[in-house]
Amino acid sequence: MKIEIKDNLSSITTQAGVVFIGVILENIFKYIYNILLARLLGPELVGLYFLGLIVIGFAAILGKFGLDAGILRYASMYKVNNINKAKAILFKGIRLGICLSFITSIGILFASKGIALKLFKNASIINIIQYLAFSIPLSTILMLALSYFQAFRTLKYNVLIQNILQPLSNILLFVILFYFGLRINAAVFSYLAALLIALWAAFYFLHKRFKVFAMDKISLLNSHDFLKYSFSMFAILIFNYLYRWIDTLMLGYFRPTYDVGIYNIALRTSVLCSIFFVPFTSVFSPIVSELYEKDRIDELKHIFKVVTRWLFSLTVPLFLIFSFYANRILNIFGREFVIGSNAFIILSFSLLISSATDAIGACILVMLGRTKIIFINMVTLIIISIILNYILIPKFGILGAAIVNSLSIILMGLLIILEVRYLYGFHPYSLKFFKPLWAGMVSFCILYLSKALIVKSPWFILAQAAFFIFTYMFILGFNEDDKVAVRIIANRLKLIFT
Per-residue model confidence as pLDDT tens digits over 34-64 = 999 999 998 999 999 999 999 998 888 888 8
Angle, in degrees to the nearest 10, between helices 223-254 and 398-424: 140
Cα separation, 164 vs 135, in Å, equals: 19
Does residue 452 carry a pLDDT above 60? no
Pairwise pLDDT comparison (84 vs 258), residue with the higher score? 258
Final residue in a domain of this structure, among 171, 195, 221: 221
* Average pLDDT of the residues of the chain: 81
pLDDT at 222: 56
Domain membership of residue 241 (yes or no) is no
Angle, in degrees to the nearest 10, between helices 223-254 and 67-78: 150
With 0-12 CB in 10 A as exposed, 13-18 as middle and 19+ as buried, what is 69?
Answer: buried
Final residue in a domain of this structure, among 409, 429, 449: 429
424 and 291 housed in the same domain: yes
Residue 58: give the domain boundaries: 36-221
410 and 296 housed in the same domain: yes
484 and 404 housed in the same domain: no
Cα separation, 103 vs 106, in Å, equals: 5
72 and 150 housed in the same domain: yes
Domain membership of residue 411 (yes or no) is yes
Q: Identify residue 229 by its one-letter amino acid code.
A: Y
Domain membership of residue 57 (yes or no) is yes
Pairwise pLDDT comparison (87 vs 201), residue with the higher score? 201
Close Cβ partners of 275 (under 8 Å, ≥ 6 residues apart): 23, 24, 27, 318
pLDDT at 211: 66
Pairwise pLDDT comparison (149 vs 477), residue with the higher score? 149
What is the number of domains present in the chain? 3
pLDDT at 492: 43
Final residue in a domain of this structure, among 429, 448, 480: 429
Q: How confident is the model at residue 380 (pLDDT cuts 50, 70, 90)?
A: very high
Domain membership of residue 246 (yes or no) is no
Q: How confident is the model at residue 215 (pLDDT cuts 50, 70, 90)?
A: low
128 and 273 housed in the same domain: no
357 and 404 housed in the same domain: yes
Asked if 74 contacts 222 with a C-beta cutoff of 8 angstroms, the reply is yes
215 and 88 housed in the same domain: yes
Domain membership of residue 22 (yes or no) is no
276 and 143 housed in the same domain: no
Asked if 317 contacts 440 with a C-beta cutoff of 8 angstroms, the reply is yes
Q: How far is residue 468 from each of residues 191, 270, 458, measured CA to CA in Å?
A: 38, 19, 15
Domain membership of residue 239 (yes or no) is no
191 and 318 housed in the same domain: no
pLDDT at 338: 92
474 and 406 housed in the same domain: no
Domain membership of residue 229 (yes or no) is no
Does residue 234 carry a pLDDT above 60? yes
277 and 409 housed in the same domain: yes
Statement: the pTM of the whole predicted model exceeds 0.75: yes
Asked if 251 contacts 270 with a C-beta cutoff of 8 angstroms, the reply is no
Cα separation, 432 vs 307, in Å, equals: 12
First to last CA, the chain: 34
Domain membership of residue 17 (yes or no) is no
Give the residue from 136, 137, 156 showing the smallest Cα distance to 146. 156
SS3 category, 122: coil
Q: How confident is the model at residue 237 (pLDDT cuts 50, 70, 90)?
A: confident
212 and 354 housed in the same domain: no
How many other C-beta atoms are found inside a 10 Å radius of the C-beta of residue 58? 16
